[in-house]
Structure 1
Amino acid sequence: MDDVAWSGFVEALDKGMPDVEIFMKNVHEYFLTHPSVRVHGKSVIHSMKRRMKDLSHLRDKIDRKSTPKRIITPDNVFEQITDLAGVRILLLFQDDFTIIDRSIRQKISSGDWELAEKAKAFTWDPEASEFFKKFEVEVNQRDTSYTSVHYLIKPRKDAPVCCELQVRTLFEEIWGEIDHKINYPHPTESVSCREQLRVLSKIVGAGSRLVDSIQRSLLNESGQEPKGGNS
């Protein structure tokens, strides 16, 4: 894309991005403060991140995603590029995803949010795949070693504003951050790095299952019901 064409995108983004950022902050604040993500007064969320898409990365993404069948223009950029704003929820325990998903569904049922599309769970792990099949999400089992659940949230059905909400565990975040460092925006050509990332994903998966087992043991010993699954 030449500079003249890019200037049209910059003008459209300057006008629309403030509304996107405001909605992103509202989504972030909701999970920061709402009692629906708390158990016994404590939030199941370990930490959160939020970010607006960097313009240099956005320009590169538009170039990569534009095809004869998918023409991205300044007029449709907010519909075509749905991750201009992102909020990431990090959990200690995968079982606690139940609470986050329930909170999101309640917000949608109340009419405060809309899903732009069906939520998607991405994972390489067959056990994680079976876990996510319990929920109203599209499960994508792939060989990319990536595990995360993505929701595309809008304030209303006809709104151009969209925020990508990602939910994953801290273990999965470690893998994701390292993979992002190596493979974004363009994949590494290093065969050894790709192999090492696959090994790391197996370690991360084992770690996530172990910490869930620890939590279930503690709950069982204290006589409490586990929070995970659809129970």
Structure 2
Amino acid sequence: MKEWEVLLAPYKQAVDELKIKLRGIREQYQFSPKHTPIEFVTGRVKPVSSILQKAKRKNIGLDDLEEKMQDLAGVRIMCQFVGDIDTVAELIKMRKDFQIVEERDYIKHKKESGYRSYHMVLRYPVQTIDGEKPVLVELQIRTLAMNFWATIEHSLQYKYAGKIPGDIEERLHRAAEAAFRLDEEMSQIRGEVRDAQKIISSKRDPIRKPPNSYLNGKDT
């Protein structure tokens, strides 16, 4: 087990550092008159049991894990509106503290299951006692509705060992479309939502935040 802890330590460090940096971006927006595109940020290192299961399923040798398994470390950014996803993606592309290895747009090109999200694979340099170590981190950007659907779908995949019954699969697909329609409807009243959140935020904490900013995020 200690060998796994040593292997995964740089990935945990990468996740922790990226969460701090991304939350820092969110806070800068909150203290500006601009709309905050980041609702909240989460991250994790893949559990060893999940790593072994995926390695077996994908026929990845344990010696090849660090290069061939791109989601050993994962960071997720949640947004309120679909349009925020493009904003966040552009912010990520502007940064110089890591390299973007790959991008996959599952919003414009949804998966057959109905899954929608914007994925980036980052090569992030971790500073260790032995020098710099670049590690791969999968970054997912999605709306709250997309995340709700994906969380439910993931749980069902686990329950049925990847073989979800056809009737449930069909319902999941309909739910994915309903979630996306919700996102589209909310985008139509985005201005009204933002104004309401500014009013609520200014009343909640009028001293700390200027009246033209809002806070509706949460740290996890």
TM-score where L is the length of structure 2: 0.76
State whether structure 2 residue 6 is matched by structure 1 residue 15: yes
* Corresponding residue to 2:43 among 39, 42, 50: 50
Offset of 1:13 from its aligned partner? Answer: 3.0
Offset of 1:184 from its aligned partner? Answer: 3.1
Within 5 Å, give how 1:210-221 maps onto structure 2. Answer: 210-216=185-191
Residue identity matched to 2:147: E
Residue identity matched to 2:47: D
State whether structure 2 residue 86 is matched by structure 1 residue 98: yes
Which whole-Å deviations, capped at 9, do the CAs of 1:147-175 have from their partners, x for residues lacking one? 0011111125x954111110000010111
Within 5 Å, give how 1:1-231 maps onto structure 2. Answer: 12-34=3-25, 38=29, 40=33, 43-66=36-59, 71-73=60-62, 75-107=63-95, 110=96, 112-117=97-102, 119-123=103-107, 129=108, 140-156=109-125, 159-184=133-158, 186-216=161-191
Please give the secondary structure, in 1, of the residue aligned with 2:42: strand
Q: Is the 8 A contact 1:31 1:37 kept in 2?
A: no
Residue identity matched to 2:5: D
Offset of 1:15 from its aligned partner? Answer: 2.1
Offset of 1:16 from its aligned partner? Answer: 2.2
Distance 1:62 1:160 in 2: 21
Offset of 1:116 from its aligned partner? Answer: 2.1
Distance 1:176 1:116 in 2: 24
Distance 1:42 1:189, change over 3 A: closer
Equivalent pairs: percent with the same residue?
Answer: 22
Offset of 1:106 from its aligned partner? Answer: 1.1
Gaps of 5+ in 1: 1-9, 124-128, 130-139, 220-231
1:134 equivalent in structure 2: none
Distance 1:65 1:92, change over 3 A: same
TM-score where L is the length of structure 1: 0.72
Aligned length: 186
